[in-house]
Each structure stands twice: as structure tokens, then as C-alpha cells.
Structure 1
Amino acid sequence: MMLRVAAHEAYQRGPAVRITGPELDDIALQAANDAMLSLLTKLDSFRGDSKFTTWAYRFVALEVSRKVARHFWRRPSIGLETDEWERLPAGLSSDPLARAIQKELLVALQRAVEEALTDHQRDVFLAVVVEGVPLDSVVADMESNRGAVYKTVFDARRKIRAFLIAHGYIDASPTHE
């Protein structure tokens, strides 16, 4: 029953995130198995407020949702090639001077990410800030917690800011007054 529900849920969500075929079947199977384990560990908390099958479906739906989200955002690490960095500020200004300043700042930012951050900070910063991967997906992929990921991003931003100040790209004055 749980596998049937997981397959139904996966096939409803799969096309929206461009997952199909055996990959989607595998997600459904993993979700059904994980849902069963979750259900068994929480079996003593079933109060009978709803039908048991309704309660079990909830575990399956949550597992499928989590698996599809993690699968969708799981990507190889982001390359630091120039063409990828150049896509970030596309169309921010039509003024040639402003575009030149933006390009120079972008190159400095790329250098700061490459030189000032640890590998771990770089991976987390690129995923959360540059790629926009949901924080929960990063937390799940790292098998960490939200606080640790927030702290990593905070430290990375602090190091990048210090790098940009030290190399004269931005002023040391506070940004929030």
C-alpha cells in the first residue's frame, strides 16, 4: 500500500521537477521504505484521531516530498568558470561605467570566493547564495542542521566582505545605518 501511494505521489510531483522513468520509480521505492521506517518508529504515537491508513499516507507524502526536493537540488559542485559568474549580474544596468564597475566587482567576488573561503564554506555559499538551493535541501545533503548552515553562510559572507574591503573594492563603513 505504501509503495502504491509513494508511486502515485512521485508521479504527480516528478514531471514538475523533470524526473521520470526508473529514477522516479527509485525515488518512490526509497520514499516508501523510509516512510515505513518512520511509521514504525512512531507507531506508539498513533492516537486514532484518523484512520490508520490516512495517518500512514502522511508519512509517505512527506517522504516523497523530501526525496523529490533533495533529488531536484542535488547537483555537482558549482564551477567557478568565468562564464557562470558573468550570468549573475545580467542586465543590472545599461550605463557602460556601471556595467564595468559591476564586472570588476564580480571578478573580485569570484576571487574572494576562491581565495578567502574554505572548501566547505565555498560549497555552502555557492549552493545557498549563488544557486539559490533551499536551505533545507543543503541541510539534508550535508546531514547537518539549519544553525550550522546559517553560520557557515554568515562566516563566508564576513570573509568575502573582509576580502573586498582589504583589496579596496568596497568601503569599510557599515552598510546598515
Structure 2
Amino acid sequence: MDSESAHWIAALQDSGIGHDDAVGRLHEMLLRIARSELNRRRGSHGLAGPELDDLAYQAAADAVVSITAKLEDFRGESRFTTWAYKFAILEVSSKLGRHYWTRHPTTSLDAEDWERLPDRFGLRPEEYAGQRDLVCAIRDAVDGSLTVKQRAIFVALVVRGIPLDTLVAQTGSTRNAIYKMMFDARRKLRAALVAGGYLEEDG
């Protein structure tokens, strides 16, 4: 472990005034990281002013809590500041995901969403005769063939276009779990459309 990292760990594990000073310095560092990351992603979240600053403070504070709770996990394979940086970025992603979902609910689809669904689902015009009939068939398949979780993930990724990392942070799931859920959802939907005569069965 490099000397700077060792100093951070020792200070954060100190039971006296050194601990409070280290926590304060850590929070300041993580706050700078959170603000920088939020500014880097400004085009994707539209936050500004007090709301942006509040989210940065929340991310930094939660990152401090996570780091101090996991100090024993630090093995010195990287610098402590590099290790801590990842916690701040993860908290920013989580906070942005929660912010996005509270403003863009994915539990319902309006008419325009349904009209876009064939293209988002990856269906080419030559694969179906009537788009209106296909839209109705997809609506029925989404409602009738998918589980609640599959429907939420499908709508979020395919229809709403929510970034995968945002979805992972918000749901607390993993990339692999969401990939698997999407694979199963698409398989079920395609099977329903084939059964209804809207698509040809693969080879």
C-alpha cells in the first residue's frame, strides 16, 4: 500500500479527532468528484442550480458512509483515492437513476409509445403487413405474456430508452440479470407474434 493510501486508512480508522478531520477531507474530495461527474452528464439529466448541488452533496455523503463501512475491503491494489472515486461515481449514477425514474414513470405507455414500439422492438416494415394490427398484437403480448418485472424492464429499455447503467443503479440489479430478463421478454413476445401470424417463425 502506498504511503498516502496508508495515511487515509489510518486516519479514517482513528477513533479521535484525526477521524473527523479525515472524514471531512474525504467528503470534500468526493463532493468535487460528484459535481464534476454531474457536470459531465449535464446533457442527460437537465439538473441545475440548488437541485444539482443537493444531489452532489447526497452522493458524496452516501459515498463517505459506504467507504467508511468498507475500509477493511481496501487491499491497496490501487490508490485509496482511486478506490474512493468509484464509490462517488456509483452514488451519482444511483441518484441520477432515481431522479430519472421519478420523473419518467415506466408503468404505462401512451398511444405514441405504442406506435414507436415496432421499430424499438427491432421489427422491419417488411416483416409485417399492417402496423396498426401489429401494435395491437404487441400490446396484448406485453400485457399478457410478460411478468410485471419483464414488462417494466422492457418498457424502460426498449420504449423509454433509459440507459442500461441508469436502470442497473435504480433497480439494484446487475447487467447480466437485466440482459437475461430482456432476452426472455423478447423471446416471449416474438413467440406470441409468431403464434398470431404477425411474424414468420425463425428458420
Alpha-carbon distance in 2 for matches of 1:150, 1:59? 23
1:149 has 2:181 as partner:
no
Q: 1:170 to 1:140 in 2, by over 3 A?
A: same
Q: Which moved further from structure 2: 132-141 or 27-36? A: 132-141
Q: Deviations over 1:63-112 (max 9, x none)?
A: 4542454245423124222232124468xxxx9x9996233322221221
Q: 1:21 corresponds to which residue?
A: 49
Q: CA deviation at 1:26?
A: 2.5
1:70 has 2:107 as partner:
no
**Contact 1:125 1:156 (8 Å CA) reproduced:** yes
Counterpart amino acid of residue 101 in structure 1 = G
What stretches of structure 2 of length at least 5 have no aligned partner? Answer: 1-24, 120-124
Q: 1:123 corresponds to which residue?
A: 152
Alignment of structure 1 residues 1-177 onto 2, 5 Å: 1=25, 2-3=27-28, 4-6=31-33, 8-9=35-36, 12-13=39-40, 15-16=42-43, 17-43=45-71, 45=74, 47=76, 54-55=81-82, 58-59=85-86, 61-63=88-90, 65-67=92-94, 69-71=96-98, 73-74=100-101, 75-88=104-117, 101-174=130-203
Indicate the RMSD between aligned Cα atoms, in angstroms.
Answer: 3.2
**Contact 2:142 2:151 (8 Å CA) reproduced:** yes
Q: Deviations over 1:26-58 (max 9, x none)?
A: 2112211122123324545364975x6x54772
The percentage of counterpart residues that share the same residue type is 38
Count of matched residue positions in the alignment of Structure 1 and Structure 2: 167
Alpha-carbon distance in 2 for matches of 1:143, 1:106? 31
Alpha-carbon distance in 2 for matches of 1:49, 1:143? 26
Q: 1:141 to 1:165 in 2, by over 3 A?
A: same
**Contact 2:67 2:87 (8 Å CA) reproduced:** no
Report the secondary structure of 2:114's partner residue: helix
Normalising by structure 1, we get a TM-score of 0.73
Q: 1:22 to 1:99 in 2, by over 3 A?
A: farther
**Contact 1:7 1:25 (8 Å CA) reproduced:** no
Normalising by structure 2, we get a TM-score of 0.65
**Contact 1:10 1:68 (8 Å CA) reproduced:** no
Alpha-carbon distance in 1 for matches of 2:110, 2:185? 19
**Contact 1:139 1:145 (8 Å CA) reproduced:** yes
Q: 1:26 to 1:10 in 2, by over 3 A?
A: farther
